[in-house]
Amino acid sequence: MRRWTGFLLLIAVLVVSVMASVAIGTRYLPLAEVVDALLPYRDPASMSADAVGIVRELRIPRTALGLIVGLAIGAAGALAQGHTRNPLADPGMLGVNAGAACAVVIGVYVLGIQGPVAFMLCGLIGALIASAAVFGLASLSGAGPLTLILAGTGLSALLLAITSGIVLSDSVTLDAWRFWNVGSTAGRGMDVFWAGLPFIAVGLLLALGSGFFLNVLGLGDDMTKSLGSRVMVIRAVGIGAITLLIGAATAACGPITFLGLVVPHLA
């Protein structure tokens, strides 16, 4: 009963947060204008142009993106802690954030990419490459929890050094990277939301499939094998889910830390 009470309380907090995100912003808008802008059947010509632009083009995209990004980071954090058997593990320990950041910096420096959508696609590619490299390195020693963390930490340090070297040598790249690296849903349109949604949806499906085996993995790799489960396959699916979830979230909004660590404990 207490579990359901807590769940319903969190749902209520989520609903209130969504309403506040749409209704409250830097520019004050009367509540009636906000409601009018939310109604799809109202003619925009009969409403305040400021209300329509602010609510439909700024506040709704940031709220929708915040919902799927928060969901992705929370699910990825639970998977990361389950697969590494470490309650203090964070998805960034697997090198996904560092891979996304390095790819964005290289894209700006070499290709001259601009705009949130280009940043998102480039960051997602970097996250996928970094995750594949971490899993490949860890697989040399059985892809156990310790080797995953060591490989992810080592690769993150290398990618961070590359990123720092590039941004310190080019002011244009530094300005673009600094804006993206803040980590925010502000300034992103619905194009970023729709671009990231398929990857997060697939990642959540993989997370659901991998989540059933987290309790078994908690018993240790040897016990998991003795129960007939294929540890490498389970871990590969889990790492793939983490990569898609964190890769898409980081690429869309920039690195957002702490959520992946604390959300699994709240759940």
| 2-43 tens-digit pLDDT | 777 877 888 888 888 888 888 887 777 777 777 777 776 565
Spatial distance between the Cα atoms of 6 and 65, rounded to a whole number of angstroms: 24
CA 216 to chain centre: 26
pLDDT tens per residue, range 113-166: 777 778 888 888 888 898 888 888 877 776 677 788 888 888 889 998 998 888
Spatial distance between the Cα atoms of 58 and 202, rounded to a whole number of angstroms: 26
Spatial distance between the Cα atoms of 253 and 56, rounded to a whole number of angstroms: 19
How does DSSP classify residue 212? T
Spatial distance between the Cα atoms of 148 and 79, rounded to a whole number of angstroms: 13
Residues of the chain with pLDDT > 90, as a percent, come to 3
Nearest Cα to Cα of residue 199 among 148, 255, 238, 252: 252
**Cα Rg, the chain, nearest whole Å:** 20
Give residues with Cβ within 8 angstroms of 257, minimum separation 6.
90, 92, 97, 183
Lowest mean pLDDT among 77-86, 120-129, 159-168, 223-232: 223-232
Three-state secondary-structure class, residue 63: helix
Spatial distance between the Cα atoms of 107 and 96, rounded to a whole number of angstroms: 16
Structure tokens given for 82: 């389950």
Q: What is the pLDDT of residue 219?
A: 66
Query: CA end-to-end span of the chain, whole Å?
Result: 15
Q: What is the arithmetic mean of pLDDT over 47-59?
A: 73
* Domain locations along the chain: 2-266
CA atoms within 13 Å, Cβ hemisphere of 2? 1
CA 42 to chain centre: 34
Centre a 10 Å sphere on the Cβ of residue 263 and count the other Cβ atoms it contains. Answer: 17
Question: Is the pLDDT reported for residue 44 higher than 60?
Answer: no
Helix-strand-coil split of the chain, %, nearest 5: 80, 0, 20
Nearest Cα to Cα of residue 34 among 211, 24, 80: 24
Question: Is the pLDDT reported for residue 76 higher than 60?
Answer: yes
Structure tokens given for 12: 């209520």
Spatial distance between the Cα atoms of 106 and 111, rounded to a whole number of angstroms: 7
Phi/psi for 7 (5° steps) reads -65, -45
Lowest mean pLDDT among 44-53, 70-79, 213-222, 227-236: 44-53
The residue with greater pLDDT, 67 or 27, is 67
Give me the CATH code for the 2-266 domain, please: 1.10.3470.10
Computed over every residue of the chain, the mean pLDDT equals: 80
Q: What is the arithmetic mean of pLDDT over 96-111?
A: 86
Query: CA quadruple 69, 71, 73, 76: dihedral positive or negative?
Result: negative
pTM, 2 dp: 0.82
